[in-house]
Structure 1
Amino acid sequence: MPVIAPMPAARPARIPSPRDGADETVAAGTTVDHLTETYRAHYRSLLGLAALLLDDTASCEDVVQEAFIRVHSARKRVRDPEKTLAYLRQTVVNLSRSALRRRILGLKLLSKPMPDMASAEEGAYDQLERDALIKAMKGLQRRQREVLVLRYFADMTEAQVAETLGISLGSVKAYGSRGIAALRGAMGASA
Structure 2
Amino acid sequence: MKAETLDLDQQSGGPVSVPPLSAGADDTISGLYAEHALGLTRLALIMVGDRESAEDVVQEAFLGLHRRFDGLRDRDKALVYVRAAVLNNARSVLRRRRLPSWFAGTYDPPVWSAESAAILGAERREVMEALHRLPPRQREALVLRYYAELSEEETARVMKISRGTVKSTTSRALDALGRLLGETR
> After TM superposition, is the score higher than 0.5?
no
Give the structure with the larger helix fraction. 2
- The structure, 1 or 2, with the larger RCO (C-alpha pairs under 8 Å, 6+ apart) is 2
TM-score range, shorter chain: 0.3 to 0.5
Q: Which one has the largest radius of gyration? A: 1
